[in-house]
Each structure stands twice: as C-alpha cells, then as structure tokens.
C-alpha cells in the first residue's frame, strides 16, 4: 500500500512521508481520524450486517451537508496481492522449502530498518541475508513490480467509490522507495 499517499478519486501508494501514520495524521488530521475510529468502533456490528447485505452493484452517495468521510485502504493484500509470498524465494534465489526457508537465512532486521528509513535500498540489499551473499536489487524490484496485481473486485470497488465522489486514500508501511513499484 510504500508510504500512504492520497489522490482524491483514486488510491495511490506513493508519498515521501517517513511514516504512513505521520502522513495521514498531517494530511487528514488526528482529530478527524480519531472521530472516524470511534464511529467505526460504535458501528462495528451493524456495519458488518449492512455490508453483508449490499449487492455487488451498490451505489454510494455523499450526504449533502453531512460530515466529510474518506475511505482509507491498506495497500498490500487489501488492494493488491503481495508477490513476496508467491514463490519469491524460489524464483529469485533458488531456495526450496517455501518462505520459511528464506526467513531462516534472511536478516530479519534489514527490511524493518529499510521500511523505517534507517537503511537505504542499497544497504538493505547488502544486508539482506545473514551471510551477506550478494543480492541483485534490480532483479528484486523488477520481480515485485511485474507481479503486483489488483485483488479480485478491488479495482471495481475503488472505481465505483471514486465515481460516487467518495474520497479515497491508500496507505502502507511499505518502504517509500518501493511505492512506485505498486502503482
């Protein structure tokens, strides 16, 4: 979903903000986010019931004079499928045994530090594996970019919401340098 960017009318994963929470708070407002969270919490049961009964072609209308609302989407595995869990370790590194085999030899702190901006992309790839074997960062970027795909129904949902005038925003904890790969 990259740092949370927002372009009215279409979800966007790009932003230069150092953290999605900071970006959303600065651009949407902490008080507004808090009021949305309280409303969601108060309506959790009834909202689930109402959403379950909506037909796939439901239309959304803004409320004249009502409070402004926004739909926030997480990006990865909400809007688009994460290709990391679809054979990444085998396809790029020739590692058999699934993702658990990759995690057994991968430096777990490297991505977290990259994600928070403590490491550059180059530093992340240099520290990707515990044994510091070389990683072709360009190949990783190409692999991911070629395999990001909308999850079934999500492009249609986002399009319908946008057409109805519902403000949309996307956010994620994905590293900012990788946001363009998802777009």
CA distance 118 to 113: 5
Kindly report whether the global pTM for this prediction surpasses the value 0.95.
no
Among the ranges given (44-53, 83-92, 116-125), the one the predictor scored with the smallest mean pLDDT: 44-53
CA dihedral 35, 41, 43, 46 (to 10 degrees): 160
- H helix or E strand, kind and range, residue 73: strand 71-74
CA distances (Å), 7 to each of 80, 173, 180, 182, in order? 17, 18, 14, 15
pLDDT in tens, 99-109: 899 999 999 89
- Residue pair 5/15 in contact (Cβ under 8 Å)? The answer is yes
């Amino acid at each position: 979903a990259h740092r949370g960017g927002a372009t009215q009318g279409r979800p966007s994963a790009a932003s230069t903000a150092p953290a999605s929470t900071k970006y959303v708070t600065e651009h949407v407002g902490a008080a507004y986010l808090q009021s949305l969270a309280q409303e969601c919490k108060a309506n959790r049961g009834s909202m689930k019931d109402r959403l379950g009964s909506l037909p796939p072609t439901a239309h959304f209308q803004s409320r004249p004079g009502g409070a402004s609302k926004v739909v926030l989407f997480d990006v990865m595995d909400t809007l688009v499928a994460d290709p990391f869990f679809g054979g990444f370790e085998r396809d790029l590194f020739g590692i058999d045994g699934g993702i658990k085999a990759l995690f057994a030899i991968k430096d777990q702190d490297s991505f977290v530090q990259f994600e928070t901006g403590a490491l550059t992309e180059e530093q992340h790839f240099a520290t990707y594996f515990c044994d510091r074997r070389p990683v072709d960062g360009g190949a990783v970027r190409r692999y991911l970019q070629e395999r990001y795909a909308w999850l079934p129904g999500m492009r249609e949902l986002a399009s319908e919401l946008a057409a109805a005038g519902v403000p949309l925003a996307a956010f994620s904890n994905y590293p900012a340098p990788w946001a363009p790969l998802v777009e």
